[in-house]
Amino acid sequence: MTTSAANSAPSERINHGRRVIVAWLVLSVIATPIVALVLGPSLPPGNGSSQGTEQVFDNTWLTATSTPIICLLLVFFVYALSQFRHRGGELVDGPPLRNDARIQVWWIAITSATVLMLASFGTYELLQTGSGGGQGPKALVVPKGPKMEVQVIAQQWEFTYRYPGYGGVETPTLVLPANTLVEFHVTSLDAIHSFWAYQLGVKADANPGVDNVAFVTTKGPRSFEVRCAELCGLWHGYMFNYGRVVPESQFASWIKGQQAAFAPVAKYLPKYSTTYLPDPQRRAG
């Protein structure tokens, strides 16, 4: 800091503080509604499910809350760089700056309140909805209402899906009925994988020997991507496929067709279980 800046009179320092506060308030009033109303609705993962919509709301709320803090940092940096720069002449150190107890108290109080508020909000939302994340074999948050079970089986390097309510038929494609609460049971046959249906807002680790439960409530018909979100071996990048949410009548017709198509090999499938013990000699590394 230059001598002129360091030796500023008290009134000058007060003016600097007022200018920063006024600029911060103006920028915050402009930026926060833009973030909340324009940027927020376009945040991921979108509105492909009830959990996805809730995640968009949470992300919007948290981002909007953080906007004034970001604005304060930007205003302070820009103001400091523009006002307290060396403008020629001899450059000497000014007198040492002493701590300001009032600023320290306000900083600790405001940042602590903000962090606690965000943590409380996030915890409440998580307990309300489960947020589409895997909750282990004993889910802490279980949505009310009837559920359709679907098992996600990960292996190097593909996902397959079993429908225990339809005789345990296993299919290479994930198809779900619209407007249905789905209870996913996610597991693995070999390495650690991660089931990520991005547009549905559901993501759950697939661990061998573990039944990881996640919930999602579908909305109207749409397609969605399924990807592995955990590095799982040589062909990890190719471990993805596509799923569909279809009307209930179309789903009933589809699952009936799958049962007929896979009937010849159904006797070779193991009995439905939340986890399986595969032959390691038949798995790729």
- Predicted TM-score (pTM) of this structure: 0.77
pLDDT of residue 276: 87
Q: What is the pLDDT of residues 233-266, one digit of tens each?
A: 888 989 999 999 999 999 999 999 999 988 888 8
pLDDT tens readout for residues 27-48: 999 999 999 999 888 888 888 8
Q: Are 195 and 159 in contact (CB under 8 A)?
A: yes
Phi, psi (degrees; rounded to nearest 5) at 175:
-125, 130
- Evaluate the omega torsion of the peptide bond into residue 68 and state whether it is cis, within 30 degrees of 0: no
Domains of the chain: 3-87+100-129 (no CATH), 148-282 (2.60.40.420)
Write phi, then psi, for 159 (nearest 5 degrees). -110, 140
Q: Please tell me the distance from the alpha carbon of residue 256 to that of residue 195, in angstroms, as a whole number.
A: 25
Long-range contacts of 231-237 (CB under 8 A, 24+ apart): 232/154, 232/156, 232/157, 232/191, 232/192, 232/193, 233/156, 233/157, 233/191, 233/284, 233/285, 234/157, 235/156, 235/157, 236/157
